[in-house]
């Protein structure tokens, strides 16, 4: 690794912020990224700093060669293309935030990244979609208890609104507005709306899954009239005041998948969202209407779901295979 800059002890820890800013300005600067992104970037920057320390290199400012060697190290140890891309973004963000020259803006580095992606592949691992039929099977396995009522509401609303798990657990009672035709749910902030412009999702009463009724049953049983909609239920059967954690959504889905005899390893928190989009596509729903519910900005993402859902409909070989 000739040409790499020697490491200076103590350099490059965490995500540095340009000197001379007031506390409020620093807070606003940090708030430019979602908290989950901040945590991921902080972890990635820490990994890079630790690797540089181990190899006697300086992580701040880093050279393009150091960054490429680090990413190569990550790739050879099984990191996915998406993980490598995020770590690159974290290094770029840290340097720009500190007012240093961006080491990732380098053609040699870009060429190396193309080689890494070519070798390890970039196709993401798709979690199975919890379609309407799968969801019905999950709902049938929920117990007649307070926890069961919460889980029924969580699964049904998560599916009906094509919610991301972060959006689902962030809901407060004040975000739910009753309507003669169902429920209007306000998503105050999401992955594609970090500035909080907000998005309203319409949840019909429904005849089969009945998401609105299940949410109402949970709130009434839990005595929740304000604050977080979804909350932990302790071993004593009491509802806690705090908000349900995002990881609980995936645990709930996997638990009932196992109970329904499904391979829980193929399902995740994204399965409810994917399940709604897939089911809507199978039933011939319009692309724009699906995007209204899911909140997607890029139609290409939704088209991918539609293509998978309709892969065998009107197949070019159906008449002769």
- Identify the active-site residue in 191, 251, 289, 307: 191
230 is written with which tokens?
């979804």
DSSP 14: S
Task: Clarify whether 235 is annotated catalytic.
Answer: no
Task: Clarify whether 95 is annotated catalytic.
Answer: no
Tokens 């300086």 locate to: 58
278, burial (CB in 10 Å: exposed 0-12, middle 13-18, buried 19+)? buried
- Identify the active-site residue in 152, 164, 165, 254: 164
Task: Clarify whether 189 is annotated catalytic.
Answer: no
Task: Clarify whether 191 is annotated catalytic.
Answer: yes
- Identify the active-site residue in 87, 231, 273, 276: 273
- Identify the active-site residue in 7, 93, 270, 276: 270
> 194-203: b or e for each residue (b if 16 or more CB lie within 10 Å)?
eeeeebebeb
Give the list of residues 6+ apart from residue 211 with CB closer than 8 angstroms, or none: 153, 156, 157, 159, 160, 161, 183, 203, 204
Task: Clarify whether 205 is annotated catalytic.
Answer: no
165, burial (CB in 10 Å: exposed 0-12, middle 13-18, buried 19+)? buried
The candidate with the shortest Cα–Cα distance to 271, out of 154, 127, 172, 66, is 127
Task: Clarify whether 255 is annotated catalytic.
Answer: no
- Identify the active-site residue in 152, 165, 231, 296: 296
Enzyme catalytic residues: 164, 191, 270, 273, 296, 305
């Amino acid at each position: 690794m000739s040409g790499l800059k020697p490491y200076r002890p103590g350099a490059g820890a965490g995500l540095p912020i340009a000197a001379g800013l007031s506390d409020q300005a620093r807070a606003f600067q940090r708030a430019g990224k979602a908290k989950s992104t901040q945590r991921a970037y902080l972890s990635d920057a820490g990994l890079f700093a630790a690797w540089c320390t181990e190899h006697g290199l300086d992580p701040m400012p880093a050279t393009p060669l150091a960054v490429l060697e680090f990413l190569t190290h990550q790739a050879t140890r099984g990191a996915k293309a998406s993980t490598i891309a995020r770590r690159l973004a974290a290094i770029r963000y840290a340097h720009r935030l500190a007012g240093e020259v961006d080491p990732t803006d380098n053609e040699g580095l870009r060429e190396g990244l193309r080689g890494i992606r070519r070798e390890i592949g970039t196709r993401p691992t798709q979690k199975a979609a919890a379609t309407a039929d799968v969801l019905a099977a999950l709902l049938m396995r929920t117990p007649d208890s307070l926890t069961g009522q919460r889980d029924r509401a969580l699964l049904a609303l998560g599916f009906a609104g094509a919610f991301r798990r972060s959006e689902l657990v962030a809901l407060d009672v004040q975000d739910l507005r009753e309507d003669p035709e169902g429920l209007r749910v306000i998503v105050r902030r999401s992955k594609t709306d970090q500035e909080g412009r907000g998005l309203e999702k319409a949840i019909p009463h429904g005849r089969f899954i009945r998401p609105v009724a299940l949410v109402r049953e949970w709130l009434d049983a839990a005595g929740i009239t304000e604050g977080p909609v979804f909350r932990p239920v302790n071993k004593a059967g009491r509802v806690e005041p705090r908000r349900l954690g995002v990881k609980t959504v995936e645990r709930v889905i996997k638990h009932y998948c196992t109970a329904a005899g499904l391979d829980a390893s193929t399902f995740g928190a994204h399965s409810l969202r994917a399940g709604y989009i897939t089911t809507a596509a199978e039933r011939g729903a319009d692309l724009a209407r699906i995007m209204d519910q899911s909140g997607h900005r890029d139609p290409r993402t939704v088209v991918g779901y539609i293509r998978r859902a309709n892969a065998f409909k009107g197949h070019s070989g159906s008449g002769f295979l």
